[in-house]
Structure 1
Amino acid sequence: MVKRSRMRWMMVLLGVVLILSACGGTKRNIAIGPPASETNNVSKIILEAYGIGDGEYKAFQESFGAAADGVQDGNIDISIGILGLPASSIESLQASAGDVRMLSLSDEAIKKIEEKSGYKQYTIPKDSYDFLTEDIQTVTAYAILMGNTDTIDEELGYELAKSMIENASENTHAQAKQMLLENALNGAEGLPIHPGAKKYYEEQGLTVDNEVAELTASKENRKSELTFGSGSQGGTYYPLGGEMANLWNKYIDGLNVTNMETGASVENLSTISQGNMDLGMTVHVPALNAIEGKADFEGNHVKNAAFIGHIYPEVVQIVTREKTEIASFDDLK
C-alpha cells in the first residue's frame, strides 16, 4: 500500500513537472531588431506597454531580413520592424508564406508608447498590402540623415542636401518619393542643423528655426572618400542608402561615398561620435537622444552630428503568420 501510494505521488509530481515544462515552452520567439538599433529600443517599449517583460518571450536580435526569413521558416513567431511603407521585405514574405498577419497596437499601448518616446500614432491603410483586410494602428517616426560636423564642411553639407531633394526623382527606391522639399525638415525638431543644409533650405523658401551646428570641417581639408552608415540589407536603409550614395557620387564632383551595412540608427550615431563615420541614417528619436545624452547615449552626448535632411517616414510594422494564432500582443500574456 505504501509503495502504491508513493508511486501515485511520483506520478503526480511528474505531471506537475510536465505541466511546468509545457508552460515554459510557450514563450514566443520575437525578433526585436539588432543590438544597438532603434528597432531594438522601440520593440522593448512596445512590449513593456503590454506588460510583457524580458523573461516572458525569447528575443531574437536579427536584422529585419533575417527575421522575415525566420518568420517564414516558423522559427520566429513575431517580427517587429521600423520600415518604409510598403516594405518590400514584407511583400516578399507574403509572396513566400501566403499567410502574413500584421498586428495592430491598442489605443492604450499607443498612448504609453507616445509617453515614453518620440513616436506618434499612425494608421497603415488597408490598401498598403494585398493581405490586409483592415487598417492597422501603429506608431511612426522619421528617418533622417545626420552628418559629422568634423568632416562635412558647409559647402559639402549644402550639396548633400541639394542632391537629396533635386535628384530624388532618379532614385528608384520606393521611399525616395518622400524626399520632397515640403518634407525636408520633418524630424528636424530639436536637432542642430548643418549650416550648409540650412543655407540650401532657406534659399528654397523654407523657414529654419533650428540651432545651427558649429563646424570644425573645412573645404580645404575635405576628404574625397566618405563613409555612409545605413542599415541591414533586409531593411529599407541599406538599399535606399546605396542609391543615395550613387547619386551623390554622380552629382558632387570629387566625392566618393561608400554605403556601409550597419546596425542602423544607434550604431551610426555612435560611430559618427567616434569619428569613424561621415554620414549616417537614423530615426529622429535616437538622434534626439544622442544630442541630449539620453537613453543609449546617457552620459555620452554626441556633439559632432547635425541634421542634413529628412528621408522618409518610419513606420513600425509588426508581422506574424496566421498559423501562429497570434492576433495581438495580448495573446502573449
Structure 2
Amino acid sequence: MNKTKMRALLFLVIGLLVVLSACNGGSGGKKNIAIGPPASETNNVSKLILKAYGIEDGDYNKFQEGFGDAADGVQDGNIDVSIGILGLPAGSIESLQASSKDVKMLSLSDEAIKYIEENSGYRRLTIPKDTYDFLTEDVETVTAYAVLMGNTDTIDEELGYQLAKIMVENASENTHDQAKQMTLENALRGAEGLLIHPGAKKYYEEQGLTVDNEVAELTANESDRKTEFILGTGSQGGTYYPLGGEMATIWNKHIDGINVTNTETGASVENLASIRDGNMDLGMAVHVPAGQALKGEADFKDNEVKNAAFIGHIYPEVIQIITREKTKIESLDDLK
C-alpha cells in the first residue's frame, strides 16, 4: 500500500473514531449529564439517583448548571441527560419540546426508587402521561415539596402571619402554573420535622388546621422591623425564580411598609445557608435539605441552620429526567 492510500486510510479511521466518540457522549464513551448547580438540592439528589444505578462521579461528564441552561444544552446536543427538580408541568420542558420536537422523559426503576426512598425523604410519584403532550406512557419518579423558610432573626411573628396568609388567600393573583398548589389544604405539606414559624402556626390554626410542629423561637421583633427583605429563589430557567418573583410582588402589594426582592440563587442549599449567615430573609427550598439544615446533616454537617422556620408549602417538587430521542437513551441503565 503506497503512502497516499495509507494516509487516506488513517484519516478514515480517525474520522470513524471521532464519530463513535460523539455518539457515545464524548471522551471515553462517557455521557454528558447535567446534575444541577453546586450546593443545590438538584445536585445532591442527582448524585443519589445516579448512585442508585451504580453510576459514580467519574463515570460521566458532569455539567453543573441551572435547568434552563441545561435544557439549552440538551437542545444543542451538548448534554445527553438533564436531571431537574421542577413543578408539573415544567414550562422549560414544554419549551424544549416545542423547539426540539423529540424530548424523552426517563422513568426510574422500582429498585432505584426503593434505594432513593431508603436514603432520603423523597417518595415515589407517577407522572401521568397526559402531563406533557410528548409522553406516551406514565413516568415513574420521586417527589418532595418546595417550602418557604423564614429567617427567625428578621421575620417577626406578625410578618410571618401575613406572609403565610397572603400565600394562601391571594394565590389566585399569581399567574404561575404552580401557584394553584398554594392552598389551605396543601399548606402543611413538607412541614414534617421542621420548626414552624409562630406567625404561620397562628394563621393555620385560625383556619382550622392542626399544627403539631415544634414552634421556632424568634429574635425578630415587629417594633424594629426593617423594610427591605430578600427572597432567595433559584435559577431563572427553573420554577423558583419566576414563581418567587410573583410571590414577592403580591406580598409587596398587600403588606404595608415592606419590599421583598427576589434574587437568583443556586436554590435550596444556598438559600438555607444564606439564611443561616444572615444574608437572606426568606428562602425557597425542597423540604428534604430544609430538614437536614435544621438537624446539621448532609451539606450542613457541623454547621446547622438554627434560625430558619417553616412558613408554608409552595408546590410538589418532582424529579424529571429528560433526554432526546436522538440520543437513543432508553433508561438510566444506558448511562453505565
Question: Do they fold alike, i.e. is TM over 0.5?
Answer: yes
Q: Deviation per CA, 1:290-325, whole angstroms, max 9, x where unpaired?
A: 000000000011000000000000000000000000
Q: After TM superposition, list the pairs within 5 Å mapping 1:104-143 onto structure 2.
A: 104-143=107-146
Specify every segment of 5 or more residues in structure 1 that has no aligned partner in the other structure, as ranges: 1-10
Instruction: Give the aligned partner of residue 317 of structure 2.
Output: 314
The aligned counterpart of 1:29 is 32
Q: Which residue matches 1:216?
A: 219
Select the residue among 26, 41, 49 that pairs with 1:38: 41
2:56 and 2:145 map into 1 onto residues whose CA distance is 27
Structure 1 partner of 2:281 = 278
In structure 2, the residue matched to 1:239 is: 242
Question: Which residue is 1:293 aligned to?
Answer: 296
Shift of 1:25: 2.7
- Distance in 2 separating the partners of 1:53 and 1:313: 28
SS of the residue corresponding to residue 284 of structure 2 reads strand
- C-alpha distance after superposition, 1:209-251 (max 9, x if no partner): 0000000000011110000000000000000000000000000
Is 1:167 the counterpart of 2:167? The answer is no
- 2:63 corresponds to which letter in structure 1? F
Alpha-carbon separation, structure 2, partners of 1:67 and 1:287: 25
| Whole-angstrom distance in 1 between the partners of 2:334 and 2:196 | 44
Q: Which runs of 4+ in 1 moved over 4 A?
A: 21-24
Report the alpha carbon displacement of residue 171 of structure 1 after superposing the two structures with TM: 0.4
- Report the residue type matching 1:36 in the other structure: A
Percent pairwise identity: 78
Structure 1 residue 249 and structure 2 residue 257: aligned? no
**1:332 CA displacement:** 1.4
In 2, the alpha carbon distance for the partners of 1:186 and 1:201 equals 12
Q: Do residues 198 (structure 1) and 201 (structure 2) align? A: yes
Matched with 2:69 is 66
| TM-score normalised according to structure 1 size | 0.94
The corresponding residue for 2:6 is none
Q: Which residue of 1 aligns with 2:159?
A: 156
Inter-partner Cα distance in structure 2 for 1:64 and 1:77: 13
Distance 1:126 1:160 in 2: 35
SS at match of 1:267: helix
* Structure 1 CA distance for aligned equivalents of residues 335 and 64 of structure 2: 19
SS of aligned partner of 2:185 = helix
The amino acid of 2:34's aligned partner reads A
Instruction: Name the residue aligned to 1:5.
Output: none
Which range moved further: 319-328 or 23-32? Answer: 23-32
| Counterpart residue number, 2:190 | 187
- The answer to whether structure 1 residue 83 and structure 2 residue 86 are counterparts is yes
> 3-state SS of the aligned residue for 1:182?
coil
1:48 is paired with a residue whose SS is helix
| 2:266 matched residue in structure 1 | 263
| 1:190 aligned counterpart, secondary structure | coil
The answer to whether 1:99 aligns with 2:102 is yes
Cα distance in 2 for residues equivalent to 1:179 and 1:101: 29
Q: Secondary structure at the match of 2:29?
A: coil
Structure 2 residue identity aligned to 1:76:
I
Q: Quote the RMSD (CA, aligned, Å).
A: 1.5
Aligned AA (2:107):
S
Aligned mates of 1:311, 1:327 — CA distance in 2: 32
**Amino acid of the structure 2 residue aligned with 1:232:** S
Secondary structure of the 1:183 match is coil
Mapped partners of 2:96, 2:148: distance in 1: 28
1:66 counterpart SS class: helix
Counterpart Cα distance in 2 of 1:210 and 1:92: 40
Match of 2:210 among 162, 183, 207: 207
Structure 2: how far apart are the matches of 1:155 and 1:162? 10
Alpha-carbon distance in 2 for matches of 1:183, 1:331: 37
Deviation string 1:177-227 (CA, Å, 9 cap, x unpaired) is 000001000000000000000000000000000000000000011110000
Deviations 1:7-46 (A, max 9, x none): xxxx9xx99xx79x95853100000000110000000000
Query: Structure 2: how far apart are the matches of 1:120 and 1:59?
Result: 25
